[in-house]
Structure 1
């Protein structure tokens, strides 16, 4: 029996499409293609400017964004239903475990705490998560999720990444170490 190569290609394409619709497979694929984010050039870095932002802690104390002035801050906007968000979470948890004493981590979601808590328990995550109480500073407004910002001690956005990334990479750690050293 002769198999037509066009039929094989079509069948493989169909299998690929079906697998991409299935969320766990989609998450795995996104992890495979996620790269470390790059730092914004100095002259293109924008200052936050507005620190008038209150956050309600879901599993962490409430925080006024004013309190993070002068610190390195990692902000991630995410949701439990978002495959790219889920894909980057293992690398974020590892980064958090390494830098939680040196960097302020803020994970922002608009989902109910019960949903987030269940997700964290299932996956073994313990990331400090918040709801925004008031308007997010305009320089930090996310148009899609995941969106992650890294802010230096001077209040400049040095990383603005939309989409999944490998946050536990050597290049990210080098950048964070450099920021912590004030460079």
Structure 2
């Protein structure tokens, strides 16, 4: 039987697997891999005939400071709706792009970032990362069209309630394609 020589690729592979098994290094590696995806993956815009329509509603949520709020969805204002979590590597990877989009469009678009986590944990995460995002805890179940079992799941909903984008998984929300879409939706 012939002896197999150990190659550098074998060593790198074993080290990579070992790092994925260690909890302290697993999340940073997963976030980095998802950032690579975000760098090249822009959300897909639904064809007009495939766009589903949300019946306009008011989303009952709670701000991180405990103040209840109702946000109109599909009632005259474009909405960016995101379901995410602080423990979710794809969510963490796409948040910088969402932050940049919010910085430029936050006055004209409803940004609704929804998480089921404890408010203290979310607030620590947001503060540590330096984000200024409108994060909410849901106080009701969203309509079935806007429910998802996957994180992250993001929607862009026009002012009349049409779901223009539904994207599951990390994506580049600060892309030229998304910005052009928002500019068009805000003109209509």
Q: By the TM > 0.5 criterion, same fold?
A: yes
Match of 2:69? 63
How far 1:19 moved relative to its partner?
4.4
Structure 1 match to 2:5 = 4
Contact 1:80 1:116 in 2 (8 A): yes
How far, CA to CA, are the matches of 2:103 and 2:18 in structure 1? 35
CA offset digits 1:96-118 (Å, max 9, x no partner):
00101110000101111110110
Is the alpha carbon distance of 1:175 and 1:23 closer, same or farther for their aligned partners in structure 2, counting shifts above 3 Å? same
Which residues of structure 1 form unaligned runs of 5+? none
> How many pairs align?
180
In 2, distance between residues paired with 1:100 and 1:113? 22
Q: 1:18 to 1:72 in 2, by over 3 A?
A: farther
Matches within 5 A, 1:1-183: 4=5, 7-20=7-20, 22-34=26-38, 35-49=41-55, 51-59=57-65, 62-66=68-72, 69-182=75-188
Offset at residue 20 of structure 1 (A): 4.6
Task: Give the TM-score normalised by structure 1.
Answer: 0.89
1:10 deviation in Å? Answer: 2.7
- Structure 2 CA distance for partners of 1:156 and 1:61, relative to 1, 3 Å: farther
Q: CA deviation at 1:26?
A: 1.5
Unaligned runs of 5+ in 2: none
Kept in 2, the 8 Å contact 1:79–1:109? The answer is: yes
